[in-house]
Amino acid sequence: MDSELTDYDGDFEQHNPLEKKINITRKYVIACVVFASLNNVLLGYDIGVMSGAIIFIKEDLKISEFQEEFLVGVLSVISLIGSLFGGRASDVIGRKWTMGLVSIVFRAGAALMTLAPTFRVLMIGRILAGVGIGLGVMVAPIYIAEISPTVARGTLTSFPEIFINAGILLGYVSNNYAFFGLPSHTNRRIMLAVGILPSVFITFALCIIPESPRWLVMKNRIEEARSVLLKTNDDESEIEERLAEMQSDFGASDGEEVLWRELLSPSLALRIMLITGFGIQCCQQITGIDATVYYSPDIFKAAGLDGNSKVFATTVAEGVTKIVFVDL
């Protein structure tokens, strides 16, 4: 009797068109979110791999301590500058094609860093990579928030942070297990070249993922926006509600003025949200965690660990710890 009921339930799910559509929609949304979050892998991988690659860069290019510090720190500054242009770029060419721009710029930077025969060329590549990372870190959460169904938006918008830590772990693993033991000039080139792979996947993803429905409405491409919402939402009432809300937002002639007025003179509810959002981001960066991660090998050596293999193995354990607690 129980087996018959189980078989019936399985047949029902298999032949129920609504259930099948919901499953397809969910898988499609997750695929879009994963592809968009690859932008954040670029940042994470750079943080993780540079902590090890810098050792071989020093050996190969014979750079000074000041050059080492400048090389490591410049990416954060350039990423900040790149992120300032991310919002404008995504409004002009769209969220999707801004991610395409990210992949091109970062790929060019990573290629220069890989092939760099001198410190100067390495710096140029790192600056380009920083611009790409800044753009990507800015646009990915926007795209994910705009394409996600309301019921899953909170969960899905956490993917970029998870992927940053996955990238850090990938960088640590490449330091310790994949390329460790090769000559310095070969080792650092391969380690930096691997960072190109996520940007290649992003390029292929552009053939699969849709444009943000909000951007399409902003450009008055209403039917295209509706089509995207139909692919990413299984609740038809929510589709029309979101579409009407977006049309209302962009329909007002003074919409941008109203937005700035709300930000500069916010209501109590909005003030709480702004303080929470800014507070979390500021506190995270004030801890200096990025610097700690970049210099993990040096910190562990100063703590008494000897030998690069032991140091890099410890950084892998650090990366696993980070990703476990972020997922929790």
Q: For the domain that residue 88 is a member of, what is the CATH number?
A: 1.20.1250.20
Asked whether residue 135 is assigned to any structural domain, the reply reads: yes
* Phi and psi at residue 117, to the nearest 5°: -90, -15
Asked whether residue 236 is assigned to any structural domain, the reply reads: no
**Residues 212, 232 contacting (CB under 8 angstroms):** no
Asked whether residue 94 is assigned to any structural domain, the reply reads: yes
**Alpha carbon distance 140, 160 (integer Å):** 7
Q: Which domain holds residue 171?
A: 12-209+288-327
Structural domain count, the chain: 1
**Alpha carbon distance 208, 95 (integer Å):** 14
Asked whether residue 278 is assigned to any structural domain, the reply reads: no
Low-confidence ranges of the chain (pLDDT < 50): 1-2, 4-6, 8-9, 12-13, 253
Q: How confident is the model at residue 5, as a pLDDT?
A: 42
Q: How confident is the model at residue 128, as a pLDDT?
A: 93
Asked whether residue 53 is assigned to any structural domain, the reply reads: yes
Those residues with Cβ within 8 angstroms of residue 216's Cβ, 6 or more apart along the chain or in another chain: 222, 224, 225, 228
- Tens digits of residue pLDDT in 281-291: 788 778 777 77
Best CA proximity match to 32, nearest among 95, 118, 90: 95
Q: How confident is the model at residue 310, as a pLDDT?
A: 77
Asked whether residue 250 is assigned to any structural domain, the reply reads: no
Those residues with Cβ within 8 angstroms of residue 84's Cβ, 6 or more apart along the chain or in another chain: 134
Q: How confident is the model at residue 8, as a pLDDT?
A: 41
CB atoms within 10 A of CB 178: 15
Asked whether residue 49 is assigned to any structural domain, the reply reads: yes
User: What is the pTM assigned to this prediction?
Assistant: 0.81
Asked whether residue 283 is assigned to any structural domain, the reply reads: no
